[in-house]
Amino acid sequence: MSHTETHERSLLGFWIYLMTDLLSFGVLFATYAVLSPNTAGGPNAKELFSLPFVLIETLILLTSSFTVGLAMLAVFKQAKQQALIWFGVTFLLGLTFLGMELYEFNNLIAEGASWERSAFLSSFFTLVGTHGLHISVGLLWMAVSMVMIWKRGLTPFINSKLTRLALFWHFLDIVWIFIFTIVYLLSYV
């Protein structure tokens, strides 16, 4: 099998993984939609969330989805330096996003609004936490990839891996659009 064929096949395989991952997010969204009114006398979503903070988080993740695209354009042009810079920018944006999410979680727990407080908060932490876990894995993957680019250059093998990493990162931003809309925006409607 030629290299291009192997690449195409693993890309399709990865795409199918993303689709099944989307199904698990779908179940968590359904759980959140059902349980979110059940606050057990505790704080509700509107009292807990700050929309301007989440808007900034959203725009940071969106920008990182754009910069990972720019990184891939550099990869296709075989521009190693440029690819490293754009992956570096994406990594920092992703790290900022994760930091903001952990800061929010930390504040909620300090206010006594942890996952133990109500069904609403359990489902919130499960949904948003699962997304954050994916972001953490993506960041780890990106860090390893940057070391590989730096050490070995943009070989066809590494480029194939990078295509899947970029796909994963775009996918996480798409999931976040729905967390932003359903969890945060809808709580203020």
Return the number of the residue (8 or 147) whose C-beta is nearest another protein: 8
Q: Which of residues 73-102 bind another protein (CB under 8 A)?
A: 73, 76
| Residue 106: CB minimum distance to another protein, A | 24
Q: Of these, 42, 43, 62, 143, which contacts another protein (CB under 8 A)?
A: 62
184: which 2 tokens?
Answer: 């945060």
Nearer to another protein, 104 or 173 (CB): 173
Closest CB to another protein among 147 and 177?
177
Write the DSSP assignment of 17-79 as a string of letters.
HHHHHHHHHHHHHHHHHHHTT--TTS--HHHH--HHHHHHHHHHHHHHHHHHHHHHHHHHTT-
CB–CB of 173/58 below 8 Å? Answer: no
Burial class (CB in 10 A: 0-12, 13-18, 19+), 147: exposed
Residue among 70, 84, 95, 100 that touches another protein (CB under 8 A) = 70
- Shortest Å, Cβ 143 to another protein: 22
> What is the DSSP code string of 139-166?
HHHHHHHHHHHHHH-S-HHHHHHHHHHH
Asked whether position 178 contacts another protein by CB under 8 A, the answer is yes
Q: Please answer whether residues 83 and 145 qualify as being in contact, where contact means their C-beta atoms are separated by less than 8 angstroms.
A: no
Is residue 47 near another protein by the rule CB under 8 A? no
Instruction: Give residues in contact with another protein (CB under 8 A).
Output: 12, 15-16, 19-20, 22-23, 26-27, 29-31, 33-34, 51, 55, 58-59, 62-63, 65-66, 69-70, 73, 76, 167, 170-171, 173-174, 177-178, 180-182, 185-186, 188-189
